[in-house]
């Protein structure tokens, strides 16, 4: 198939100073939880995007010296020769596919944690950040500022040696240049503070320094947040400062490409907006006039971002003049081959990002990213997985996959790509498993793409049959089915007895068999919920808060009880937490953090005994006594009355079918069955991204000796070398 001519404009080259990108698809700098200290993973991850058609592929933020870090989150560094070699591996990989490589040089200032470097960072004033707390910056004097520029220049030279084509002055997300420009951070009274010219000086000087060092050989890119989303306390896109800065830099020809977004680093969920709160192209109202302003001065290309996943949206962005270049981070993670698929007319094959921000959440916790939609993300190096290439089936086994939830859909898809004959059987009339419920939570409709993408792919695979509405299969039916390999993907369920990790026991009086108690499945199935509802949330991720919102939107009076310090702490990593809590506050959802329920008195009106999880004595008893808590046992409790309790307390695997089949293992051989495996939540409940991953892995490794155990993968680590003890680890 060929490219639809309406997308031709997306494949026009764009000049970036001395360089030219071959199409308009640009992977903007983004973190991936590995950085330049793991060059194997870094290069394989970035090169995949170049192979997939992204004309520019950038690193994440890259430190210019040794003093700053963002530990535990790993990013890049260009401080010495070793760093050059590591980065060179990435640029070589990117160049192999005729793409350009970009590096985002950074001084983090107030946002550096320095937990590992133990260094001190400079800022415009003495600052710390809501992320960093306890670690403050030193206010840079003029000597320090000259030193900072020198570090930048040295790093730029290293960047050129490392093979980079585009070198950034990173100024968005309130890193150092913005800490000078924005009065939110800059309280100076010297020539670097006060008036616009003074506050802009540091930034303009950075541009000059870069231009002079490499300007005729590499493109100078400026990443800039045109609005800190702090209102008048900070930089505003409709305010004067940002327009004047952009005008100044453009007029003096200091910037070859503008990479524009919004936000302050303390809440960068306003930039990397999750789909729950921000729809595709959500930044346009802030950025469109900035592009127009730039264009009125000079024809310098402008990049916009906004979780653009659809080719038609991308087309609109370029055709309308909103931007020249389609910037993307998350859409390029979900589908590194997005540009190539548009080129080949394979629009249905595009795997669209769902905006769950699980990728970001892993980096935020200091580990390599993962992607719910693309299980091969960050697995190219360590497991050798390529999103478009699959090792052909090594035998002619026919595979029965039981359950078409996220794991089953993905397993059947990859088995189909490998050429296996597959029957995917789903009890319900529609595929999707528990994602069909999750996608109906407020704001999470885009998560339905986990289902629709796989449904479309399966529809095209001739060797995969999908059977729906067949009811729950029994062990006998499976033994009789005629398949050689069985993969059970029967998912998990929420427990209905109040069992949780808080106390590891059920809660007396709680019983989802009674109408007053409901599991998430029962709520979404439309079972009646009373007017006053308590959501009992031991899970800490999206389910409790989403159900609370779902019920509040129906006019119920809702409270959330959680043992955790606040509702949904895991959404801190996905950058949803601030807006989530604003939502809970705005919708009048009461919260009882640090609390749990000891027992519930049944009746039409439920009486739940609520207690603070810290009610016990804080002094541990010196001599333990068998049968007694080794501290004073607190007894204070308060009774709350409600009509319904929603139980988001714990999940449990639906592995009964596996137990039944295992009990009849002697019949397997006569039935022609060579293996029965489990993938996804039925093996062990886990996050959605991991269920999809598990289905994928099982399919890739189903012909390995023990498919239930993952094959070993490369751990990118330093192994001590006796011959070169000094070189090793340098």
98 Rama sector, left if φ>0, alpha if ψ -120 to 50, beta otherwise? left
State yes or no: is 170 an active-site residue. Answer: yes
Please report whether residue 367 would count as binding other proteins according to CB under 8 A: no
Question: CA 544 to CA 539: how far, in whole Å?
Answer: 7
- Nearest approach, Cβ of residue 482 and other proteins (Å): 3
Residues 305-334 that bind other proteins (CB under 8 A): 316, 320
CB of residue 414 to other proteins, shortest distance in Å: 19
CB of 105 to other proteins, least distance (A): 36
Min CB(669)–other proteins separation in Å: 16
- Binding to other proteins (CB under 8 A) within 484-503 occurs at none
Query: What's the token pair of residue 8?
Result: 């031709």
Q: Which stretch binds other proteins (CB under 8 A): 478-486, 560-568, 591-599, 642-650?
A: 478-486
Of 618, 557, 619, 569, give the one whose Cα is nearest residue 593. Answer: 569
Cβ proximity to other proteins, 201 vs 467, nearer residue: 467
**Residue 676 in contact with residue 488, Cβ under 8 Å?**
yes
- Contact, 55 vs 26, CB < 8 A? yes
Nearest to 561 by CA among 511, 608, 524, 517: 608
**Catalytic position from the list 7, 26, 31, 83:** 31
Chosen residue from 96, 141, 430, 480 binding other proteins by CB under 8 A: 480
Alpha-carbon torsion, ordered 182, 184, 185, 187, to 10 deg = 90
Q: How many Å apart are CA 138 and CA 608, to the nearest integer?
A: 52
Question: 3-state SS of 3-61?
Answer: CCHHHHHHHCCEEECCEEECCCEEECCCCCCCHHHCHHHHHHHHHHHHHCCCCEEEEEE
If the CB atoms of residues 79 and 400 are measured against other proteins, the closer one turns out to be 400
CB of 672 to other proteins, least distance (A): 9
The Cα 423–Cα 432 span in angstroms is 16
Whole-number minimum distance, CB 552 to other proteins, in Å? 22
The verdict on whether 539 is a catalytic residue reads no
Residue 410 half-sphere exposure toward CB, CA atoms < 13 A = 29
Tell me how far, at minimum, the Cβ of 338 lies from other proteins, in Å. Answer: 17
For other proteins, the binding residue among 153, 178, 294, 400 (CB under 8 A) is: 400
Q: Name every residue whose Cβ is closer than 8 Å to that of residue 703 and which is 6 or more positions away in sequence.
A: 393, 394, 395, 397
**Exactly one of 398, 461, 524, 613 binds other proteins (CB under 8 A); which one?**
398
Cβ atoms 575, 551 nearer than 8 A: no
User: Binding marks (x or -) toward other proteins, 627..656, rule CB under 8 A?
Assistant: ------------------------------
Instruction: Give the separation between CA 684 and CA 492, rounded to whole angstroms.
Output: 8
Among 28, 305, 402, 483, interactor with other proteins by CB under 8 A: 483
Using the minimum distance from each CB to other proteins, give the nearer residue, 6 or 191. 6
Contact 716, 40 (CB under 8 A): yes
Residue number, 320 or 708, with CB nearest to other proteins:
320
Separation between Cα atoms, residue 658 and residue 402, nearest integer Å = 11
Q: Is 271 among the residues known to form the active site?
A: yes
What sign results for the dihedral spanned by CA atoms 23, 28, 29, 33? Answer: negative
Encoded one letter per residue, x for contact with other proteins by CB under 8 A and - for no contact, window 334-353 reads -----------x-xx-----
Which residue lies nearer to other proteins by CB, 267 or 421? 421
> What distance in Å separates the CA atoms of residue 515 and residue 517, rounded to the nearest whole number?
5
CA 693, chain centre distance (Å): 14
**Can you list the alpha helix ranges (DSSP code H) found in 252-389?**
284-297, 311-319, 330-334, 338-343, 358-364
Clarify whether 31 is annotated catalytic. yes
Q: Which is nearer to other proteins, 425 or 700 (CB)?
A: 425
Select from 49-57, 298-306, 476-484, 636-644 the region that touches other proteins (CB under 8 A).
Answer: 476-484
Closer to other proteins by CB, 316 or 598: give it.
316
Q: Rounded to the nearest 5 degrees, what angle is found at the Cα of 227, between the Cα atoms of 115 and 248?
A: 100
Rounded to a whole number of angstroms, the minimum distance from the CB of residue 398 to other proteins is 5
Q: Which is nearer to other proteins, 6 or 631 (CB)?
A: 6
Catalytic residue among 30, 107, 173, 434: 173
Least distance in Å: CB of 361 to other proteins? Answer: 30
The site that binds other proteins (CB under 8 A) totals a number of residues, namely: 19
Task: For 648-667, give one letter per residue: b (16+ CB within 10 A) or e.
Answer: bbbbebbbebbeebeeeeee
Q: By CB under 8 A, what part of segment 411-470 binds other proteins?
A: 421, 423, 425, 465, 467, 469-470
Among 321, 471, 482, 603, binds other proteins (CB under 8 A): 482
Nearer to other proteins, 37 or 316 (CB): 316
The Cα 483–Cα 422 span in angstroms is: 9
- Which is the catalytic residue, given 69, 227, 264, 271? 271
Smallest gap from residue 483 Cβ to other proteins (A): 5
Closest CB to other proteins among 266 and 288?
A: 288
Residue with tokens 């290439």: 389
Q: Which of the residues 26, 168, 170, 683 is marked catalytic?
A: 170
By the 10 Å C-beta count (0-12 exposed, 13-18 middle, 19+ buried), 399 is classed as buried
Sites of contact with other proteins (CB under 8 A): 1, 316, 320, 345, 347-348, 398, 400, 421, 423, 425, 465, 467, 469-470, 480-483
Task: List, by residue number, the catalytic residues.
Answer: 31, 170, 173, 271
């Amino acid at each position: 198939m060929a490219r639809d001519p309406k997308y031709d404009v997306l494949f026009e080259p764009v000049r970036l100073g001395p360089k030219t990108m071959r199409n308009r698809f640009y992977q903007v700098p983004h973190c991936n939880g590995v950085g330049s200290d793991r060059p194997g993973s870094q290069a394989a991850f970035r090169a995949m995007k170049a192979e997939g058609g992204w004309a520019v592929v950038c690193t994440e933020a890259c430190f210019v010296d040794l003093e700053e870090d963002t530990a535990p989150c790993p990013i890049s560094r260009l401080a010495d020769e070793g760093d050059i070699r590591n980065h060179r591996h990435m640029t070589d990989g990117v160049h192999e596919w005729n793409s350009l490589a970009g590096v985002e040089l950074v001084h983090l200032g107030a946002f550096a944690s320095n937990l590992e470097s133990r260094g001190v960072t400079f800022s415009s004033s003495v600052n710390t950040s809501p992320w960093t707390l306890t670690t403050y910056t030193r206010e840079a004097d003029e000597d320090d500022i000259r030193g900072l520029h020198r570090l930048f220049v040295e790093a730029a030279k290293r960047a050129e040696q490392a093979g980079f084509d585009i070198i950034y002055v990173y100024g968005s997300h309130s890193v150092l240049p913005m800490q000078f420009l924005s009065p939110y951070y800059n309280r100076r009274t010297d020539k670097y503070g006060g008036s616009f010219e003074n506050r802009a000086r540091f930034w303009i000087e950075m541009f000059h320094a870069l231009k002079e060092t490499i300007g005729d050989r590499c493109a100078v890119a400026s990443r800039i947040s045109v609005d800190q989303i702090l209102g008048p306390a900070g930089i505003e896109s409709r305010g004067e400062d940002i327009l004047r800065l952009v005008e100044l830099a453009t007029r003096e020809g200091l910037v070859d490409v503008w990479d524009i977004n919004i936000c302050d680093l303390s809440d960068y969920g306003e930039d990397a907006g999750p789909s729950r709160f921000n729809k595709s192209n959500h930044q346009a109202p802030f950025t469109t006039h900035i592009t127009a302003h730039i264009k009125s001065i000079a024809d310098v290309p402008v990049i916009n971002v906004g979780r653009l996943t659809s080719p038609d949206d991308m087309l609109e962005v370029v055709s309308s003049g909103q931007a020249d270049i389609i910037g993307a981070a998350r859409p390029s993670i979900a589908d590194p081959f997005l540009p190539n698929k548009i080129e080949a007319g394979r629009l249905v094959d595009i795997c669209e990002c769902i905006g769950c921000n699980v990728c970001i959440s892993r980096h935020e916790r200091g580990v390599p990213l993962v992607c719910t939609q693309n299980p091969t993300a960050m697995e190219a190096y360590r497991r050798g997985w390529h999103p478009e290439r699959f090792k052909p089936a090594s035998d002619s086994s026919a595979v029965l996959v039981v359950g078409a939830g996220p794991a089953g859909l993905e397993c059947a898809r990859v088995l189909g790509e490998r050429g296996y004959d597959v029957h995917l059987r789903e009890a319900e009339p529609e595929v999707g498993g528990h994602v069909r419920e999750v996608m109906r939570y407020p704001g999470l409709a885009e998560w339905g793409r986990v289902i629709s993408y796989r449904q479309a792919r399966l529809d095209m695979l001739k060797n995969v049959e999908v059977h729906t509405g067949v009811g729950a299969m029994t062990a006998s039916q499976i033994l009789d089915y005629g398949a050689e390999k069985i993969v059970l993907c029967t998912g998990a369920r929420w427990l209905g007895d109040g069992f949780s990790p808080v106390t590891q026991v059920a809660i007396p009086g709680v019983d989802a068999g009674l109408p007053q108690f409901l599991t998430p499945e029962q709520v979404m199935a439309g079972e009646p919920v009373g007017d006053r509802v308590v959501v009992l949330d031991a899970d800490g991720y999206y389910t409790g808060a989403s159900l609370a919102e779902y019920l509040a939107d129906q006019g119920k009076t809702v409270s959330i009880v959680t043992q955790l310090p606040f509702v949904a702490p895991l959404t801190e990593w996905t950058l949803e937490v601030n807006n989530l809590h604003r939502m809970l506050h705005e919708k009048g959802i009461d919260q009882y953090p640090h609390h749990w329920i000891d027992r519930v008195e049944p009746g039409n009106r439920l009486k739940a005994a609520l207690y603070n999880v810290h009610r016990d004595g804080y002094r541990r008893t010196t001599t333990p006594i068998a049968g007694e808590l080794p501290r004073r046992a607190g007894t204070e409790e308060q009774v709350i009355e409600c009509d319904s309790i929603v139980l988001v307390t714990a999940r449990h695997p639906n592995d009964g079918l596996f137990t039944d089949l295992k009990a009849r293992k002697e019949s397997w051989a006569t039935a022609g069955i060579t293996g029965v495996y489990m993938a996804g939540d039925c093996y062990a409940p886990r996050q959605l991204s991991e269920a999809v991953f598990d289905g994928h892995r099982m399919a890739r490794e189903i012909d390995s000796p023990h498919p239930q155990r993952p094959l070993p993968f490369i751990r990118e680590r330093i192994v001590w070398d006796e011959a070169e003890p000094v070189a090793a680890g340098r």
